[in-house]
Structure 1
């Protein structure tokens, strides 16, 4: 690669990391539930539903990001994402009822976050076809670190300013970071087939969706997202209800999950450049299975509980890091944003299905049993799935070789 292009792709990487860090700030939402509940005179559970809507809107926007990038380019869409994010937080600061909160903090902020997240990630991965796993780890690791970094930023803001001013300042800081990152980004060039690991050609979204492998990958992704998001969301409650930990001890689950999640992103992301990515996903599924089996069937001590949720969080973090590159292995790089975008809807679906099952069938255990069954199916899929056209390509290669006995 010539020096000018090399400089552009590293600028894009820096811009993507900056943008991802700011977009990851939405995962500090739980810091605001209690104060919003007091302000709106509504139960915390109803206030917290805004984050479920945010996750769903994020996933839907991610599925549309490919079309937006195709029409406007990565820089313009990322700038618009940053401006909408700032507007969403500003309007949230003025929300006086649950409907306004759901519209502003849920749908608008979620849509803005999703439009920037998957598009900038996929574009960055396309710039580094030879190091897709490492680049995914850097970008998605920054997204995870954003929740940790903004935890301290938002707590500091809350300690010095009102709730309304905190939302406005949060929006201003996040918007400035996303826009600054966007200005460093450039659309990745089309990738020749030779640069793509294992894929014979680029599948359009319509072509990819006609392949059974596409839906196998989608179910595997949905399963790990459901397990990760559900356990992350209720870890403290599980510790208090199942393990009978004190509230202070159970709260340590948040730190355990954060460390395990980030470790999974970095470790499995780097590993995915050194071995087949589908085998990395198999390892992640085994880790999630171990965690879920422990939660369901082991006599839980504090140590076993923290180990179990760490396994689930490690699996979740690693899977969402490796998946963009895995989808590109199966269906090509050039249509990655669209092809991964529909699969990424599993993130939004997984974020609400676990809670719905728990509310309908009596709590944590029902969801855990569903997740366990899905993990077993997903593991079987990952062990048997083959890239589209792999068998045909081997047959053609065999036919093209000279064989003994042929005249």
Structure 2
């Protein structure tokens, strides 16, 4: 089987891996039952808010192993890196089932699982990027969309497991399943040769000044456009990370939805998030990455303004608003792997995209933190939507700054 055909097998393996990794979005399902379990065991009342630090750490440490794992991927190939990351993901979740304190959960889930997730996700996506130079936008959209779909497919499954057993047992069961799936899929991941060109595809002729050089991370950090792209990623992802973190609470407290309706709202957000990744990836192959990100920024601004205008019973504006934010956030997630490879070359994209991912980690920290602090200070979420709107507007402005540097380079 030649590489042009075999690359599809690699893509399928990547999709199964990323579906498992999307389980990080299921944390809220584990958290309520785990808080109850730890409270009963230790005789100290704990809430899901007390366990939020675990989720924050798991999200924040990912770029560390995306960068180091990317370096190992370039040297040793994706099989070994994903096998190692899969072991960390599975063992981290299984060990979380034996945790008896918040501190233990921070180590098992926050650190072991979180570091394994970053290593595995970064390597899987970057490997597919190298195999599909003819479809970078679409493949980036598909691989990241599958990751996002974990928030749609996995919650009902995990909820049922937790209902039948408890969070501790669910961690162990899911951990074993992920260990088998990710480690098994690692053997289907192939290292892409540096000179690979798919059969029947001719690389487009471009002017020498516009051709992406294969820059390493040190060379990338010396370019002004890297910092523009990093800030753009943060601004573009800010609203999505902010709203996703508390979508259910916003639906209940601001709109007056019931628990069932609020859970539906979370699913709507997840579906548009996933759809945005594929649609934007496909669109970016046709109209360009930066034009697609400009559209995504405008969608984010519109969605946030609609949420700002939403009050009790404002179902229509709420649903349209979160749909716009989901599409916007998904667009940034789907476009950025290919965007980074286009700008700095595919050869070192495993490491380069890992560093670029710091922009998303920044949004993941500051977005939810800003929303939580504003709500505590004002008793309403409306001010947070205006702050996020300012970030989205700044992102739109940065797309024009990027064009300035791109034109200057040409």
TM-score by length of 2: 0.89
In the alignment, is residue 345 of structure 1 matched against residue 358 of structure 2? yes
Distance of 1:357 and 1:25 partners within structure 2:
24
In the alignment, is residue 131 of structure 1 matched against residue 129 of structure 2? no
Pair 1:146–1:255, CA change in 2 (3 A): closer
Distance of 1:356 and 1:116 partners within structure 2:
27
**Where do residues 8-407 of structure 1 align in structure 2 (5 Å cutoff)?**
8-41=6-39, 42-191=46-195, 195=203, 198-297=210-309, 301-361=314-374, 362=377, 364-386=381-403, 390-393=407-410
Uncovered stretches (5+) of structure 2, i.e. residues with no partner: 40-45
The DSSP-based 3-state class of the residue aligned with 2:189 is coil
The DSSP-based 3-state class of the residue aligned with 2:285 is coil
**Contact kept? 1:230, 1:355, Cα under 8 Å:** yes
Distance of 2:212 and 2:77 partners within structure 1:
26
Distance of 2:88 and 2:409 partners within structure 1:
47
- The more displaced of 363-372 and 236-245 is 363-372
Deviations 1:223-282 (A, max 9, x none): 222210110111222223322333433332112111111111121111111111111111
Deviations 1:20-53 (A, max 9, x none): 1111122111111111111112121011321111
Distance of 1:57 and 1:73 partners within structure 2:
22
The DSSP-based 3-state class of the residue aligned with 1:274 is helix
Distance of 1:153 and 1:186 partners within structure 2:
31
**Contact kept? 2:255, 2:315, Cα under 8 Å:** yes
Pair 1:277–1:61, CA change in 2 (3 A): same
**Contact kept? 1:330, 1:388, Cα under 8 Å:** no
**Contact kept? 1:281, 1:319, Cα under 8 Å:** yes
Uncovered stretches (5+) of structure 1, i.e. residues with no partner: 394-407
- The more displaced of 140-149 and 124-133 is 140-149
Distance of 2:404 and 2:89 partners within structure 1:
38
Deviation at residue 191 of structure 1 after TM alignment:
4.4
**Contact kept? 1:199, 1:331, Cα under 8 Å:** no
Distance of 1:16 and 1:72 partners within structure 2:
18
The aligned counterpart of 2:42 is none
**Contact kept? 2:215, 2:344, Cα under 8 Å:** yes
Rg: which structure is higher?
1
Distance of 2:367 and 2:329 partners within structure 1:
15
Distance of 2:124 and 2:203 partners within structure 1:
20
Q: Please, what is the CA RMSD of the aligned residues?
A: 2.2
- The more displaced of 229-238 and 61-70 is 61-70
Pair 1:191–1:384, CA change in 2 (3 A): farther
**Contact kept? 1:126, 1:191, Cα under 8 Å:** no
The DSSP-based 3-state class of the residue aligned with 1:367 is helix
Deviation at residue 73 of structure 1 after TM alignment:
1.8
Pair 1:25–1:392, CA change in 2 (3 A): closer
**Contact kept? 2:307, 2:382, Cα under 8 Å:** no
TM-score by length of 1: 0.90
- The more displaced of 110-119 and 234-243 is 234-243
- The more displaced of 343-352 and 293-302 is 293-302
Deviation at residue 298 of structure 1 after TM alignment:
5.5
The DSSP-based 3-state class of the residue aligned with 1:245 is coil
Distance of 1:166 and 1:236 partners within structure 2:
22
The DSSP-based 3-state class of the residue aligned with 2:87 is helix
How many residue pairs get matched? Answer: 391
